[in-house]
A and B are shown apart, each in its own frame.
Chain A
Amino acid sequence: MPLLTYLEAIRQGLWEEMERDPSVFVIGEDIGVYGGAFKVTAGMLEEFGEDRVIDTPISESAIVGAAIGAALMGMRPVVEMQFMDFIACGFDQIVNMAAKLHYRWGPAVPMVIRGPSGAGVHGGPYHSQSNEMWFVHTPGLKVVAPASAYDAKGLIKSAIRDNNPVIFYEHKFLYRRIKEDVPDQDYVVPIGKAVVRRPGTDISVITYGAMVWTALEAASELEKEGLTLEVVDLRSLLPYDEETVLASTRKCSKVILLHEDTRTGGMGGELAAVIAEKAFEALDGPIVRVTAPDTPVPFAPPLEEYFLPNTQKVMEAARRLAAY
């Protein structure tokens, strides 16, 4: 199997879907001639032509609106947000149109909005946000956030084939840092299915996105201390895999919810609630969150480092919880 970066895996997934289904097209800012700010769509214009690789003006609202129209007419558009921070400009189109059209009148809205999110690359407050929860709180959408190259390819394909609008969170820190064997044939990773990245018995660390790697690193460090962490990669945030979350909770009886997103109203709060509701009797300690604090993402590198959860913070939380 070829070794692909996370970014190349997304490109391969898009590429294969474009080849497979002529109704699939990509649309966004600088994705054609320039190949996209991060080069995810590099080479596509040459391969598929400007009818299917569409450069747009700088107006997210217009891009999303155009994609919704195309989806209603039977196309399968894939919108690129240059940075997921800018998705706010298309917010009304997403939450009031894409998410509600099927409920309101019945038509399917098969579209994907994908783009880079997350911090760790000194991008400052406008190029580093993890804003997935805006959409996790919007019924009618699906939200996915792959952590591995394999999942990135499998999930982009699932997203494109899904008849609902899917928000696809790529983590820019992982783009060129993760390299994996990715099958070059067609496969999908189902939306709504988590995966246990590393089995353990003492504490379940439930996370997604770049933090999966942080959790895995903490797990291998703590194993030397005799503490085994189970690492659950959610992969999908809406719908999320409640079954796996509860099974892991019941197995370990102690849970850390880890995410790069800020604390209040984050995915951790939702998971904590469902665990408390449905697995209360399995808990042997408080449900612990390890998250970024409730501030914008700082620009200064030392501050950004302080802001982000890291291996050390996960290890400290795990040691405290284990001792409880």
Chain B
Amino acid sequence: MSTNVIMPQMGESIAEGTITKWMKKVGERVDRDEPLFEISTDKVDAEIPSPAAGLLTQILVKENETVAVNTVVAVIDGEGSAVAVPAATEPKPETAHQGPIHAAPQAAAHIPPPAAPTASEQIETGEDDVRTSPLVRRIARENNVDLGQVKGTGLGGRVNKKDILDFIEQRGPGTPVAPSAPAPAIAPTPSPVSFTGASQAVPMTPMRKQIAEHMVASLRTSAHVYTVVEAEMTRVVAARDRFKEEFERRHGIKLTFTSFFVRACVEAIKESPIINSSVDGTNIIYRRDVNIGIAVALENGLIVPVIKRADEKNFLGVARAVQDLADRARTKRLSVDDVQGGTFTITNPGSFGGLFGLPIINQPQVAIMGVGAIEKRPVVRDDAIAIRHMVYLSVSYDHRVIDGATAEKFMGRVKKILENWDEAVL
């Protein structure tokens, strides 16, 4: 097999080159990448390595002759072992790419950019190389779609409008919402702000951007209404105090308040299925499975892993899931699946001392409960002032589908379950 050696394109604007020196004679053996000839162009002088190993059988362009880029200047007869470009192949500026280009000293300060990438290189993805239109790029931007992941069905694999709309539809509306996307994989290292002036612009991390977009989108989507109830936690606190050591010893899991709240919500949701729904146009989508999202604060953001089918788990199962998800959230080992499919979310402003918060609904869900700080408060019991563990529970609900009465009924049920806690913990 023989290989054509061509005049390489040394820069975008270079149209021709002059061969200044052949380093090999006809009949000599040459190795792949061994310097074969020297050229001089408008911008650079360079040694050109051989594109293949073999015998130099023909020199077609003599020294000091100038020829156009891509002109065949020599032929190398391969020895079978060489990965040779067949002679008939469209001459590519491969030679310019393969070996190092040694710029001659006099032009050292003026090395042109490498030749335009070959077609095969362009096909390798990376979002910027996706063939598509400004329209599709805009849609991708607005929906946080990595175009590299979208299969193009258009001409030459082009991603067209239909492709991206199909992709977004299949991905479902749940994915791009709130901090649920696979953003956790990216470690958002806190970027220390070093001030050079009175203020300093720091680009948002991808997670920050997603949270920002999703929170604003949620407020735009849902008719948020809030209500707050106060629940006495005496029995829950007592159960926890009594069993926490035994629980940890037996199961290797910490007994957290979160598990109590999850259990209470799951039971209450069974009686108010609308809480576990979402809105699709003019349809209400009721979900069979109760998948409870737990907001976990991270150093520089927030993530909401989801306890799948929490309605099928007993207390231990819930506790195990809560610990597992929280651990993996903090060590950034959550999978995409772990943060998808939530049907209701619990967030915990109380863990940082908040009495109660008014959270934003995690779309496409229709309600989110915020747990305030559990603290001892004076309350009236049997016309006497008593000291009890109390908590404020807030709920933000979507008034498009949940009316005040429904929300109060749901929260009343949560409160009742907590106040009359009687479920076996161990």
Binding site for B on A (CB under 8 A): 253, 280-285, 323-324
Cross-chain contact A281 with B136 (CB below 8 angstroms):
no
Cross-chain contact B133 with A284 (CB below 8 angstroms):
yes
> How distant is the Cα of A324 from the Cα of B138 in the complex, in angstroms?
18
> How distant is the Cα of A323 from the Cα of B160 in the complex, in angstroms?
9
Q: How far is the CB of B348 from chain A (nearest CB, A)?
A: 43
Q: Chain B residue with minimal CB distance to A282? A: B135
Q: Does B88 contact A (CB under 8 A)?
A: no
Cross-chain contact A281 with B154 (CB below 8 angstroms):
no
> How distant is the Cα of A283 from the Cα of B138 in the complex, in angstroms?
11
Q: Chain A residue with minimal CB distance to B158? A: A324
Within 8 A of A (CB), among B129-165: 133-136, 138, 154-155, 158, 160-161
Partner of B160, one of A280, A281, A284: A284
Q: Find chain A residues with CB under 8 A from B161 CB.
A: 253, 284
Q: Find chain B residues with CB under 8 A from A280 CB.
A: 134
With A284-B161, A285-B160 as given contacts, are A324 and B134 in contact (CB-CB < 8 Å)? no
Q: Chain B residue with minimal CB distance to A281? A: B134
Q: How far is the CB of B210 from chain A (nearest CB, A)?
A: 23
Cross-chain contact A281 with B138 (CB below 8 angstroms):
yes
Q: Find chain A residues with CB under 8 A from B154 CB.
A: 323-324
Cross-chain contact B155 with A253 (CB below 8 angstroms):
no
Nearest first, the 4 A-B pairs at minimum CB distance are: A284-B161, A284-B133, A284-B135, A324-B155
Q: Find chain A residues with CB under 8 A from B158 CB.
A: 324
> How distant is the Cα of A201 from the Cα of B138 in the complex, in angstroms?
19
Q: How far is the CB of B22 from chain A (nearest CB, A)?
A: 47
> How distant is the Cα of A285 from the Cα of B160 in the complex, in angstroms?
8
Cross-chain contact A283 with B135 (CB below 8 angstroms):
yes
Q: How far is the CB of B160 from chain A (nearest CB, A)?
A: 5
Q: What is the number of residues of chain B that contact chain A, defined by CB distance less than 8 Å?
A: 10
- Besides A253-B161, A283-B135, A324-B158, 7 more A-B contacts (Cβ < 8 Å) are A253-B135, A282-B135, A283-B133, A284-B133, A323-B154, A323-B155, A324-B155
Q: How far is the CB of A25 from chain B (nearest CB, A)?
A: 52
> How distant is the Cα of A283 from the Cα of B136 in the complex, in angstroms?
9
Cross-chain contact B134 with A283 (CB below 8 angstroms):
yes
21 A-B pairs in the complex with CB atoms less than 8 angstroms apart: A253-B133, A253-B135, A253-B161, A281-B134, A281-B135, A281-B138, A282-B135, A283-B133, A283-B134, A283-B135, A284-B133, A284-B135, A284-B136, A284-B160, A285-B160, A323-B154, A323-B155, A324-B154, A324-B155, A324-B158, A324-B160
Q: Find chain A residues with CB under 8 A from B136 CB.
A: 284
Q: Find chain A residues with CB under 8 A from B134 CB.
A: 280-281, 283
Q: Find chain A residues with CB under 8 A from B155 CB.
A: 323-324
Q: Find chain B residues with CB under 8 A from A323 CB.
A: 154-155
> How distant is the Cα of A62 from the Cα of B337 in the complex, in angstroms?
82
Q: Find chain B residues with CB under 8 A from A283 CB.
A: 133-135
Q: How far is the CB of B249 from chain A (nearest CB, A)?
A: 62
> How distant is the Cα of A323 from the Cα of B163 in the complex, in angstroms?
11
Q: Find chain B residues with CB under 8 A from A285 CB.
A: 133, 160
Q: How far is the CB of B391 from chain A (nearest CB, A)?
A: 51
> How distant is the Cα of A253 from the Cα of B135 in the complex, in angstroms?
8
> How distant is the Cα of A284 from the Cα of B160 in the complex, in angstroms?
6
Within 8 A of A (CB), among B116-137: 133-136
Most chain A beta carbons < 10 A, residue from B133, B154, B160: B133
Q: Chain B residue with minimal CB distance to A284? A: B161
Q: Chain B residue with minimal CB distance to A250? A: B135
Q: How far is the CB of A62 from chain B (nearest CB, A)?
A: 54
Q: Find chain A residues with CB under 8 A from B135 CB.
A: 253, 281-284
> How distant is the Cα of A324 from the Cα of B162 in the complex, in angstroms?
11
Q: How far is the CB of B168 from chain A (nearest CB, A)?
A: 15
Q: How far is the CB of A261 from chain B (nearest CB, A)?
A: 28
> How distant is the Cα of A281 from the Cα of B135 in the complex, in angstroms?
5
> How distant is the Cα of A281 from the Cα of B136 in the complex, in angstroms?
9
Q: Mark B243-259, 1 if CB is under 8 A from A, else 0.
A: 00000000000000000
Q: How far is the CB of B21 from chain A (nearest CB, A)?
A: 48
Q: Mark B150-191, 1 if CB is under 8 A from A, else 0.
A: 000011001011000000000000000000000000000000
Q: Chain A residue with minimal CB distance to B164? A: A284
Most chain B beta carbons < 10 A, residue from A281, A282, A284: A284
Q: Chain A residue with minimal CB distance to B155? A: A324
> How distant is the Cα of A97 from the Cα of B345 in the complex, in angstroms?
75
> How distant is the Cα of A281 from the Cα of B155 in the complex, in angstroms?
19
Q: Find chain B residues with CB under 8 A from A281 CB.
A: 134-135, 138
Q: Chain A residue with minimal CB distance to B139? A: A284
> How distant is the Cα of A66 from the Cα of B135 in the complex, in angstroms?
53
Q: How far is the CB of A233 from chain B (nearest CB, A)?
A: 24
Q: How far is the CB of A146 from chain B (nearest CB, A)?
A: 33
> How distant is the Cα of A253 from the Cα of B165 in the complex, in angstroms?
13
Q: Find chain A residues with CB under 8 A from B160 CB.
A: 284-285, 324
